[in-house]
Chain A
Amino acid sequence: MADLPLLSVIIFLPLIGSLFMLTMKGEEEVVAANARNVALWTSFLTFVLSLTLWVNFEEGQITYQFVENGKWMKDLGIRYHLGIDGISLFFVLLTTFLMPLCILASWESIAYRVREYMMAFLLLETFLVGMFCALDLVLFYVFFEGVLIPMFLIIGIWGGERRIYSCFKFFLYTFLGSVLMLVAILSIYYIVGSTDLPILTDFIFPLSAQKWLWLAFFAAFAVKVPMWPVHTWLPDAHVEAPTAGSVILAGILLKMGAYGFLRFSIPLFPQATIIFTPMVMALSLVAIIYTSLVALVQTDMKKLIAYSSVAHMGFVTLGIFTLNNQGMSGAVIQMLSHGVVSAALFLCVGVVYDRLHTRDIERYGGLVVRMPIYALFFMLFILGAIGLPGTSGFVGEFLVLIGAFQNNAGVATLAAFGIVLGPAYALWLYRRVIFGKLVHADLKTISDIKTREAIILMPLIGLVLWLGIYPQSFLKIINPAVKELVISCQEWTKDNAYYADLKRVGSKEQQKATILSYRANPQGKVL
């Protein structure tokens, strides 16, 4: 196994599949059927391969694993550097896990330009997995931005009525955020002379630079998460995207930002992170409480779930910036849980949308009479979303709140309101859609969930319960990686002689001298 560049294979297998589809010729229907199969098998094979990552992953080892380090831009020393640790492993798995489900979910609902659709999805998978594996800032940026192209097309071509508006909003919002990150990457390159993550982690940036760089990275990641107040692209994009597009958006694209915080913002700029933590906490609290309230008044099912995503991601950012073990592990679990649960919720909405072609909550009601199995599935995911003990949502939110209490009891108390508001909108949605009297005429003939749809939802249910009942199988891999992050930060909070030095010395020359002396001594961080 050592010889096979496993990560590269997983990244580029979907790309090869999508290029293969280009060569298909013949009747449109035949091409569509073939494209569906090729996409399904390619993504399934990718998933199986990515499982071998988990099997061969060495627990407790804190360095990156499955590392590949090849030449790319020789003159600049920018390398094709891949590798995963305990955090990225599960995001890679989540991506490869959701992708075949997305393709299955679009099996019938996508009726035109099927080949292009499948190509876009496989391309998206390549970029997403690449992004989670990249250990070079430029490489990361390339994958991070590359995601925009297929997603733009997926929303724009196969979306709903206001798809043009939504796809432009999505693209330009996120693009604006990330170009600022590009400037930051360039100035990092200028300061350090490298964009290699392991090298950068050992480097201590001067505090003034850290602040600017942190803010530039924050611009890119906050839009992606999305944090309040730059979340407004999300409801539009979710509502207009086709079902599978929403699944990927909620399941994985939203994790890109939070992953960026974990992988780049915190380890590279620990001091700036500590300085800006109150701001992030405040924004997360607003996201948790405000967007939960907004979700309460939505009449569109997808929009409601979209706003609930913003609230759940508020928990994630809160957890990440508690900067302690419980909070950060909780945030990662919460991301995985949200990736599964919100994906499943969008799939559930997709099931009834395919039948009735409306997402208006008013148009439903009493579905339990005609669709009992569907009602059961839907309920499990709603319970997962509100964090019932035994489901995945509970573990994440619980750990995040423990972490938050250690930091600041006030923040944690306010965040706990989210746990009350969450069930309010989620259960109310469930009541309005599933229970009540079946009044609408067209609902009386609606058919229950089909085998294909059940097959898509089953593994998701399994995962929700697994994460909820025995999270240890995930936590034992996540924890060591998180611990590393926490240690790197705590050096700056508790025994931060270096930080104190910087504060004490007055003139810029003195600060520079201090920094240089620390740079000369690589172990200078720990005094």
Chain B
Amino acid sequence: MTIVSFDMRALTLIFPEMVLLGTALILLLLGLFWGEYAFRRVMLISKIALAAALVMVCATPSTRSVIFQGAFISDAFAILMKALTLLSALVVLIMSQRSLSSEDIAQYEYPILILFAVSGMMMMISSHDLISLFMGLELQSLSLYVLTALRRDNVKASEAGIKYFVLGSLSTGLLLYGCSLIYGYTGTTNFDTIASVLNGAKGTVLPIMFGLVFLCSGLVFKISAAPFHMWIPDVYEGTPTSITTFLASAPKVAGFALVTRVFMSPFLSMAGHWQVLLAAIAIASMVIGAFAALVQHNIKRFLAYSAIGNMGYALIGIIVGNEEGITASILYILLYLIMIVGVFACLLNTTRPSQEMNTIEDIKGLVRIHPGTAFILSFLLFSMAGIPPLAGFLGKFYIFKAAVSAKFYFITIIGVLSSVVAAAYYLWMVKTILIDEPPSNRWTEYRKSCRKEPTMTFILLGTVVGLIWFFIMPGPVVKVANDAAASLFGS
């Protein structure tokens, strides 16, 4: 029997994760006894737990430390990504409180599942070992499968859940196979050891190449980049809007962080090989995201394709594979997060109790019904289209700048051209909101059922102010992103 040396420092580093998991487990029990108050109370406590974890994560020292025999890493990058994940989960919980009731899924399992998923994401972000990577990924994915199918009696939700589960399992299988190949060659699952083995290797190592391709497929599935994107439109469409909001925000950050970590830390020495792979994926995502979104009639399917395209842009930074590129990608993800949360907040804000905002028809002439929300939504859409002087432009600017300075001209040209196509559909949404006339009978009936919700207004204004502030003074945020990126390269 080996005596495991127990380090208190290690415990403080994973304290946020422990708080979240502990809260989730306790709430699971308590929820049973609270009866009709369960949802409200569990929601409240979950929010507090997330906020507490957020504070703790922010307070963690940003020095790089690897704990638990190399399974878990904490550095500036992990802290930033965790903070973003927690923040978006918290905002989603706050936003979805009312709409969950109206969507008839006000079950106390919802916040608990989110807590589990977030714990999994934090594990993913901090993983420094193929095993902990897999555990985190699965904890997240399984919670998300259940969340997707939370509205049990709805055909579309069940279909989405099954689809997500089957395809997700397949991708997990691919990922595991890739991991086993890598383990088979290097004899280790630890990232640092893998990196040193690969550094010593001469020439192309075929089994590692195979392993890398499988691993990459599995990971790319999780961030829904093409050609592993088939599930995302259906899942977005099938889930209730409040859950879609969650699916569209936090898992994207975590998945992106994981992909960055895997390619920057153990496999950096093989950059020449995976750059081609990721470049193909990024180009496919940008092009498919741009063109497929043009023909969508459902808002959520449309946002799903926009997510695919945006992931393509974020991948460019990883492909560049240096500090500048990762900084750009972090900024891109950060801005995307703010914008997508804002867009979903607008959709939730305009949802009536009886009817969701589903098709493009539903938001026709929104400016006549909900002028404030309509303006903010158009602002966000213009920003997502990457038109200056809105913040989304800066995201693309940093990405393309990194790509150009690393001489990735081809992918840059594809990127800017598909951003023009993408602009067409964002503009189409803007046109629907601002220019089209609303169906007249709906207008009056609708206006009556509108209620203003202060928290929602606060979140909406927050996203707008955040975006404008970022545009005027990008300095501080860029510095944070830069520090996080630098920590990946061990400087």
Mask, B40-63, CB within 8 Å of A = 1, is 000000000000000000000000
Knowing A149-B382, A175-B420 are in contact, say whether A186-B387 is a contact too (CB < 8 A): no
Knowing A146-B389, A156-B434, A186-B412 are in contact, say whether A73-B475 is a contact too (CB < 8 A): yes
Stretch at the interface among A54-62, A177-185, A228-236: A177-185
Knowing A75-B479, A183-B412 are in contact, say whether A156-B388 is a contact too (CB < 8 A): no
- Asked if B435 and A179 sit within 8 Å, CB to CB, the answer is no
Measured between beta carbons, the chain A residues less than 8 angstroms from B431 are 156, 164, 167-168
Knowing A75-B479, A172-B420, A186-B412 are in contact, say whether A146-B427 is a contact too (CB < 8 A): no
- Asked if B434 and A157 sit within 8 Å, CB to CB, the answer is yes
Mask, A136-174, CB within 8 Å of B = 1, is 001001110110110011001100000110011001100
Mask, B359-394, CB within 8 Å of A = 1, is 000000000000000000000001000011100010
Q: How far is the CA of A168 from the CA of B294 in the complex (A)?
A: 13
Chain B residues within 8 Å of chain A by Cβ, number: 29
CB contacts under 8 Å to B, within A210-248, are none
- Asked if A145 and B419 sit within 8 Å, CB to CB, the answer is no
Residue of B nearest to A181 (CB): B416
A93 → chain B, closest Cβ, in Å?
A: 23
8 Å CB contact of B388 from A142, A168, A186: A142
8 Å CB contact of B420 from A142, A176, A187, A190: A176
CB contacts under 8 Å to A, within B420-478, are 420, 423-424, 427, 430-431, 434-435, 474-475, 478
B418 → chain A, closest Cβ, in Å?
A: 10
CB contacts under 8 Å to B, within A62-95, are 71-76
- Residue B71 interfacial (CB < 8 Å): no
- Residue A189 interfacial (CB < 8 Å): yes
Mask, B402-419, CB within 8 Å of A = 1, is 001100010011001101
- Asked if B393 and A142 sit within 8 Å, CB to CB, the answer is yes
- Asked if A145 and B388 sit within 8 Å, CB to CB, the answer is yes
Q: How far is the CA of A164 from the CA of B435 in the complex (A)?
A: 9
Measured between beta carbons, the chain A residues less than 8 angstroms from B424 are 168, 172
Measured between beta carbons, the chain A residues less than 8 angstroms from B119 are none
Q: How far is the CA of A189 from the CA of B393 in the complex (A)?
A: 17
Measured between beta carbons, the chain A residues less than 8 angstroms from B389 are 127, 142-143, 145-146
- Asked if B475 and A179 sit within 8 Å, CB to CB, the answer is no
Residue of A nearest to B388 (CB): A142
B291 → chain A, closest Cβ, in Å?
A: 14
- Asked if A146 and B388 sit within 8 Å, CB to CB, the answer is yes
- Asked if B387 and A179 sit within 8 Å, CB to CB, the answer is no
Q: How far is the CA of A187 from the CA of B416 in the complex (A)?
A: 14
- Residue B98 interfacial (CB < 8 Å): no
- Asked if A190 and B404 sit within 8 Å, CB to CB, the answer is yes
What are some 13 contacts across the A-B interface (CB < 8 A)?
A73-B474, A141-B388, A142-B393, A145-B393, A146-B388, A152-B427, A156-B434, A175-B387, A179-B416, A179-B419, A182-B400, A183-B413, A186-B400
Q: Known pairs A71-B475, A172-B427, A180-B416. 11 more at Cβ < 8 A?
A: A138-B397, A156-B435, A167-B431, A172-B420, A175-B387, A175-B420, A176-B417, A182-B397, A182-B400, A187-B409, A190-B401
